[in-house]
C-alpha cells in the first residue's frame, strides 16, 4: 500500500504556523502509481502532548545473575482529533482508484487556548495531519505532516508584572577570626514581564567593603522545563536552558560603585503552556556575583514572564529611573571608596532636619519592591 501511493500536503501558510482559534487549511495531493482498492481516504487533525523516559535498574535474578529492568514513565494528553474525508465512495463500499493524481482541500478550526508547540528532551506538544487509507481489511497510515500552533500571552493581562523589582545579595568574608566589611550588591529591574527582542536595562549598586575583589556580575535568563509523568507513578524531570547572558564590570575591594548594562532577549518563540498538564515552562532571571580567589560566589534570582504581546505605553528605561529614585544616593557614590561614602552620609545626616511624625508613619521602604530573597552561596 505505502509503495503504491505518494502523498504531499501543502499548507495555506508557507511557514506552517498558526494561532490557536484560527483555521488550518491544506491541500492533500495523492498520487497512485497502480490501481488501488479502498473504501475511503481521510485525514485526521491531531493535537496532543506526550512525555516519556525510561528508568533502568539492575537486580539479582535466579541463580544470582544480574537482570536489567526497564520501566517506562509516560504521560499523554489529547487536545483535539478531527477527521476530514479526502476520497470516499458514495455507498461506503470498496472502490478502485485509477493510477493518477488526486487533490482535495481540507480545513479545520483550531480550539482556543491550546498549548503552544514545544519539543524537549523528555516530551513534546505536537500538532499534525495524518493521512489514512481505509481498505476492507485494515486502516493504514501512509503520511504524517506536522504544523506549529502558538497561543498569545498578553503581558497587559498581568499588570503586577509592570512593577519594578530589586535583587539583593550580601556576603561576609572572613579568615579564621578576622572579619572585614561585607560585600553588598543590589540590582534593579524595570519590570518582570518581557517579550522576545526586548532590551532590559539593568542597574547594579555595589558596596564592596570587603578585602575581596568582585571581578564581574553576570546576569542571565534560564528557561526551566518540567516534564510530569503519571504512569506508573507521579514523577518529574527538569531540563534547563540558558537563553541569554550579559556580563557587567566588577568592583574592586573597599570601593562603592554603580554599574549599568543591558540584557538582550533573543528572537525566540514565546511558549505558552498554561493549558498543558504534562509540561510546564518557567523563566527566571538569575544574577551571579563572581569573586576572586577561592571565595564563594553570590547568587540570587527572580521569576519573570516571557510573553508575546508587550506592555502598552511602557518604557523600560523610564521605569528603571523611577524605581531608582529614592534609593541610596546612586549619583554620588560612583567610583568612590567606602570611607568617602560613609563620611558623605554622616555629613548629610547632620545637615538633614529630623523627620515629622507623619513622615515616619507614611514612609515606605524602596529597597525591596514586593520581593525578598536570601543569598545562597
Q: In this structure, is residue 325 part of a structural domain?
A: no
Q: What is the pLDDT of residues 105-164, one digit of tens each?
A: 999 999 999 999 999 999 999 999 999 988 766 788 789 999 999 999 999 999 999 999
Question: What CA–CA distance (Å, rounded) separates 86 from 105?
Answer: 8
pLDDT value at 43 more than 90? yes
Last residue of a domain, one of 106, 131, 150: 150
58 and 196 share a domain? no
Measured CA to CA, the distance from residue 110 to residue 154 in angstroms comes to: 19
Q: Tens digits of per-residue pLDDT, 218-270?
A: 999 999 999 999 999 999 999 999 999 999 999 999 999 999 999 999 998 88
Residues 184 and 85 in one domain: no
Q: Residue 90: inside a domain, yes or no?
A: yes
136 lies in the same domain as 160: no
The mean per-residue pLDDT over the stretch 197-212 comes to 92
- Give the pLDDT band of residue 3 (cuts 50, 70, 90): low
Last residue of a domain, one of 116, 150, 184: 150
Residue 330 domain-assigned (yes or no): no
| CATH number, residue 25 | 2.60.40.640
Q: Please state the separation of Cα 152 from the chain's center in Å.
A: 14
Are residue 160 and residue 283 in the same domain, yes or no?
yes
In a domain, 239, yes or no: yes
Residue 83 CA to residue 77 CA, distance in Å, equals 18
> What is the pLDDT at residue 83?
94
d(CA 32, CA 358): 87
Q: Are residues 204 and 95 located together in one domain of the fold?
A: no
Pair 48, 11 in one domain? yes
- What distance in Å separates the CA atoms of residue 140 and residue 46, rounded to the nearest whole number? 16
Domain assignment present for 119: yes
- 175 shares its domain with 262: yes
Within-domain flag for 226: yes
- The reply to whether 274 and 160 lie within a common domain is yes
Flag the least confident range among 82-91, 186-195, 252-261: 82-91
In the listed set 288, 306, 324, which residue is the last one of a domain according to the structure?
Answer: 306
Residues 163 and 302 in one domain: yes
- 39 with 112, same domain: the answer is yes
The CA distance from 126 to 50, in Å, is: 8
pLDDT above 90 covers what percent of the chain? Answer: 60
- Predicted pLDDT of residue 359: 39
Same domain? For 116 and 17 the reply is yes
**CA neighbor of 94 nearest in space, from 51, 180, 35, 155:** 35
Full-model pTM? 0.77
Burial class, 1, CB count within 10 angstroms (exposed 0-12 / middle 13-18 / buried 19+): exposed
Do residues 220 and 285 share a domain?
Answer: yes
Domain boundaries, position 139 = 5-150
Domain count along the chain: 2
Q: Is residue 373 part of a domain?
A: no
Instruction: Determine the Cα–Cα distance for residues 185 and 270; give it in Å rounded to an integer.
Output: 31
Q: Is residue 321 part of a domain?
A: no
Amino acid at each position: 500500500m505505502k509503495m503504491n501511493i505518494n502523498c504531499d500536503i501543502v499548507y495555506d501558510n508557507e511557514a506552517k504556523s498558526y494561532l490557536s482559534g484560527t483555521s488550518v487549511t491544506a491541500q492533500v495531493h495523492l498520487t497512485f502509481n497502480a490501481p488501488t482498492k479502498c473504501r475511503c481516504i481521510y485525514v485526521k487533525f491531531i493535537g496532543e502532548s506526550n512525555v516519556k523516559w525510561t528508568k533502568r535498574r539492575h537486580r539479582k535474578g535466579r541463580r544470582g545473575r544480574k537482570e536489567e529492568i526497564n520501566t517506562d514513565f509516560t504521560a499523554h494528553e489529547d487536545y483535539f482529533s478531527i477527521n476530514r474525508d479526502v476520497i470516499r465512495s458514495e455507498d461506503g463500499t470498496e472502490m478502485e482508484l485509477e493510477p493518477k493524481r488526486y487533490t482535495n482541500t481540507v480545513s479545520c478550526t483550531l480550539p482556543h487556548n491550546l498549548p503552544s508547540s514545544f519539543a524537549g528532551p523528555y516530551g513534546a506538544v505536537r500538532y499534525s495531519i495524518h493521512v489514512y487509507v481505509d481498505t476492507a481489511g485494515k486502516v493504514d497510515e501512509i503520511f504524517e505532516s506536522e504544523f506549529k500552533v502558538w497561543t498569545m500571552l498578553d503581558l497587559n493581562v498581568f499588570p503586577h508584572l509592570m512593577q519594578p523589582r530589586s535583587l539583593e545579595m550580601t556576603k561576609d568574608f572572613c579568615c579564621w577570626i578576622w572579619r572585614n566589611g561585607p560585600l553588598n550588591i543590589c540590582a534593579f529591574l524595570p519590570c518582570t514581564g518581557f517579550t522576545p527582542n526586548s532590551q532590559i536595562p539593568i542597574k547594579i549598586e555595589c558596596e564592596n567593603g570587603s578585602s575581596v575583589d568582585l571581578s564581574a556580575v553576570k546576569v542571565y535568563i534560564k528557561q526551566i522545563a518540567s516534564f510530569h509523568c503519571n504512569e506508573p507513578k507521579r514523577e518529574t524531570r527538569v531540563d534547563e536552558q540558558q537563553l541569554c547572558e550579559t556580563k557587567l564590570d566588577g568592583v574592586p575591594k573597599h570601593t562603592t560603585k554603580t554599574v549599568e548594562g543591558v540584557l538582550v532577549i533573543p528572537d525566540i518563540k514565546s511558549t505558552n503552556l498554561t493549558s498543558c498538564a504534562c509540561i510546564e515552562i518557567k523563566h527566571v532571571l538569575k544574577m551571579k556575583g563572581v569573586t576572586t580567589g577561592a571565595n564563594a560566589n553570590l547568587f540570587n534570582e527572580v521569576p519573570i514572564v516571557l510573553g508575546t504581546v508587550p506592555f502598552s505605553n511602557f518604557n523600560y528605561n523610564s521605569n528603571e529611573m523611577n524605581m531608582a529614585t529614592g534609593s541610596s544616593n546612586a549619583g554620588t557614590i560612583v567610583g568612590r571608596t567606602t570611607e568617602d561614602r560613609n563620611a558623605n552620609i554622616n555629613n548629610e545626616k547632620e545637615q538633614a532636619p529630623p523627620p515629622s511624625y507623619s513622615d515616619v508613619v507614611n514612609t515606605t521602604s524602596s529597597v525591596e519592591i514586593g520581593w525578598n530573597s536570601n543569598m545562597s552561596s
